[in-house]
Structure 1
Amino acid sequence: MQAGSEQLGSSCPCEPPAPFLYGAETAGTRPGMCVAAVLPAGGSGERMGGATPKQFCNILERPLISYTVQAFERVTWIRDIVVVVTEENLDLMKSIIQRYGHKRVTLVEGGVTRHRSIFNGLRAFAENMPLGFQLPKPEVVIIHDAVRPFVDEDILFKVATSAKECGAAGAIRPLVSTVIASSPDGCLEHSLERTRHRASEMPQAFVFDIIYQAYIQCSNYDLDYGTECLHLAQKYCNIKARLIEGSPDLWKVTYKRDLYATESIIKDSLLQQICIITDMKEDTVQVGFLLREVLKTQVKQVKGISSSLCKNVHHLQNMFTEQCFNFIGINDKDSNFLVTQQIVDILKSTSLAVLYPIVLISVHFIVSENMSFSSRVEELSGIRELANEAKKKNILVYGLLMDYTKDNLRLRETVTQGTTVIAALIKDRSPGLIGQILVV
């Protein structure tokens, strides 16, 4: 086997060196056993119809495979994550791991087929690599496609614990369409009764020794043309896998349209929480309260902070570590960008924007009886420079100009219109609108 293995830094003298192993975090023991994962990512993406393999296509400026790796990293009881890629994509995958700070990841060079790639991944736990490296052998190994980014801990736990009991387990889903067989002349030969059959999905899990022995015994034909790991465990080790009903989110990104669906799902998940930040001025606090009240009808969680930012930076930094990716900064009429600039500075000091683009909406006021909209917009033209600088750190800054009046009814109407704009900006996350002042 030729396994891509590069050592990163020094290792503990009592442990073998790790080829490109990021982090040394050990997992918890929720399933009561040692669990590892193998993610085959060697596909060429022919059905995607583009030059870039689908696992490296960008979703919100971030490669698809990074989302899948992140899903496994969230599961603390998975000790090691082996990602198998082709030789020509090893350097690309290394750069992805470094850029997005992935942990517990080891890279292995793939084979010419899916099964050969998985076999190479399993060998990382059972055989010395070219540099003398070998990962500790797990009791159970989970195999999952790198282009299925929405796997959650619940299904991983179910397949892992079922595999420990039965030797093998895998997720299944109901068939959407009836499966038919055609004869050599292109006519219908027979069809399967849809209610009696299921679609095999990922993740799948195995007692490590079982699936490894299955691959060792595997014929060249199976290695070159097979796709189903559960079948190998049954064929070569006489193991009947337990089948676990999976969720609709386990689908595989296969075609170009699937990338758009993936992006939409991620954007919806990012919309679930908004943090509104104001200073202590009466008008900003009032607008912040109204925004929070109206946004609660559209967003799962809305947090509000009213504070003197210069005195409470540490408090805000703590707020920014709670995985919120949407912020509204309400600026006083006389300060223009004070709140917005301080939010940007704090966000730059965190690692939030590494994984997802952060949206920051800079809210400003105009008292219509004192100043024209055009004059106020001209005053706020500096937001473009601020937004362009923030974009370099994956922070998307938009401007929103609102008519402020002491008439509570009119103010509520304005705020309600503003929330529609805010929700649209957060949902779309369009780089094309950054630095623009939108007026309500």
Structure 2
Amino acid sequence: MESGSPGISRPLEPGPFLRGSGRAASVSSLSRAEAGPGLGSAAVAAVLPAGGCGERMGVPTPKQFYPILERPLISYTLQALERVCWIKNIVVAVTGENMEAMESIIQRYQHKGVSLVEAGVTRHRSIFNGLKALAGDQPNSKLSKPEVVIIHDAVRPFVEEDVLLKVVTAAKEHGAAGAIRPLVSTVLSPSADGCLDHSLERARHRASEMPQAFLFDVIYKAYQQCSDYDLDFGTECLQLALKYGQTKAKLVEGSPDLWKVTYKRDLYAAESIIKERISQQICVVMVTKKDEELTGLLEEMLTHEINDVKVTSGALYDAGRDLQQIILEQCYNFVCVHVMNFDFQETQKLLSMLEESNLSILYPVVVVSVHFFYYKSVPFDQKMENQMRIREFAMEVKKRNILLYGLLVCFPQDEMKLQESLRQGATIIAALIKERKSGLVGQLLVV
């Protein structure tokens, strides 16, 4: 069963094609079969076994479908593979009962070049089904056999292109290759009575990780020769290539972020990593040219508040040209600055631009509408009225994965007190961006 379109080009960076994006045009000129550096004209595909029930996770939802920032974990893994333009096809093996849910994920998050096959009862049987689809050995399969196939776990979402390139290049030369990492703990071998028999010298051994890559004919022939015991109880694809294909895999040092989401605590770690990655750029938007001074001061405070963050400026008053470019670069955090103005029309313009861009399909976009007022000029009833207005806007755009918050900065004319107000405001903005708390959406915070 197939979903998506294997022949459509995908972006070099994570995320969907944005309307009017120059990146989409540049990538679409590449053939999906065009390989990366050092691969020549090799056609590369990937197989993701995703039929597990996640019993070690201790949650009713299989871990590959567990939501992180309200998006299934497997979607992040697909995104990591999709951004690699030289991977021609991605085959996902899922159980029959989850086939419809997987199709919905592909459609909702606009994944391209993804085909589905039914998973087997074990990991190896699921991989075998994926290989059969690539070999054309399954009914209605329209996929073409690749020269090299990547096998990767659906719950390892942080794989980078350089690691994929290393294992594929090594597989072309050696027939098989896999990522490894140093052992964290010493491995013990217990005796039958539960006592220590012996331990392995940790420095001489490595942990097998994913991704792994193979010349397609090597791994497919190995699976065709497998015994039922191998398919039901085996776990290591590299061992199958050695056992049945006499192919010694090249071991490639992997990066620390190749870990597999296995336990419930891993979900929190994965969410933290994703939040950190999408919080590294903030666009401070000026509503009018007269806002430049306060906007500049706020930018400076934000730079001090969030280490290694890139703060850029966009301008709604300049027809949004700079802002459009920033959106195309996939910035997910916006601060809209209003000076002596509590009208939300300009914030609405920004929200409309973001909605039209489809930027929020993959990640929640944060918008903080900041309003500067002299503290004596805003009566309490006006504060309440404006809080209700921003809440209405926020509830509407939240449906499109845009998180809108309000911040009222009441500042006196005293410069030192203004600096302190800005510092507090920057702290609040940084926290909203880093945490992305949906429970605070629509709130008007005051400093």
Report the TM-score, using the length of structure 2 for normalisation.
0.91
**Cα deviation 1:239-263 (Å, max 9, x = unaligned):** 1111111111000000111000000
Query: Are residues 1:348 and 2:337 paired?
Result: no
CA contact (8 A) 2:387 2:442 kept: no
- Correspondence for 1:238 among 230, 246, 252: 246
Q: Which runs of 4+ in 1 moved over 6 A?
A: none
Q: How big is the shift at 1:318?
A: 3.1
- Correspondence for 1:29 among 21, 26, 35: 35
SS in 2 for 1:70: helix
Q: How big is the shift at 1:291?
A: 1.2
CA contact (8 A) 1:211 1:233 kept: yes
**Cα deviation 1:371-394 (Å, max 9, x = unaligned):** 345643434431000100010111
Question: Match for 1:424: what amino acid?
Answer: A
Distance 1:334 1:295 in 2: 22
Distance 2:400 2:382 in 1: 30
SS in 1 for 2:299: helix
SS in 1 for 2:232: helix
2:74 is aligned to 65
Unmatched runs of 5 consecutive residues or more in structure 2: 10-30
Give the 3 Å change call, closer, same or farther, for CA 22–205 of structure 1 in structure 2.
closer
Q: How big is the shift at 1:339?
A: 2.1
Q: How big is the shift at 1:182?
A: 1.5
1:114 is aligned to 123
2:231 is aligned to 223
1:90 is aligned to 99
- Correspondence for 2:203 among 184, 191, 195: 195
Q: Larger deviation: 288-297 or 22-31?
A: 22-31
**Cα deviation 1:225-278 (Å, max 9, x = unaligned):** 000000000001111111111111000000111000000000011110000101
CA contact (8 A) 1:278 1:339 kept: no
1:51 is aligned to 60
Q: How big is the shift at 1:22?
A: 5.5
**Cα deviation 1:337-362 (Å, max 9, x = unaligned):** 12211111111111110100000001
Question: Match for 2:373: what amino acid?
Answer: I
CA contact (8 A) 2:4 2:106 kept: no
- Correspondence for 2:298 among 291, 295, 298: 291
1:390 is aligned to 397
CA contact (8 A) 1:126 1:134 kept: no
CA contact (8 A) 1:44 1:54 kept: yes
Q: How big is the shift at 1:213?
A: 0.6
Question: Match for 1:364: what amino acid?
Answer: H
Question: Match for 1:303: what amino acid?
Answer: T
Distance 2:381 2:263 in 1: 47
1:327 is aligned to 334
Percent of paired sites with the same residue? 59
Distance 1:404 1:377 in 2: 18
Q: How big is the shift at 1:314?
A: 5.0
- Correspondence for 2:134 among 100, 125, 132: 125
Distance 1:314 1:350 in 2: 13
- Correspondence for 2:315 among 274, 299, 306: 306
Q: Size of the alignment, in residue pairs?
A: 420
Q: How big is the shift at 1:20?
A: 5.1
CA contact (8 A) 1:215 1:232 kept: yes
CA contact (8 A) 1:84 1:107 kept: yes
Query: Are residues 1:408 and 2:436 paired?
Result: no
1:257 is aligned to 265
Q: Larger deviation: 273-282 or 26-35?
A: 26-35
Distance 2:223 2:282 in 1: 49
Question: Match for 1:29: what amino acid?
Answer: A
Distance 1:434 1:380 in 2: 11
Question: Match for 1:350: what amino acid?
Answer: S
Question: Match for 2:87: what amino acid?
Answer: I
Unmatched runs of 5 consecutive residues or more in structure 1: 7-18
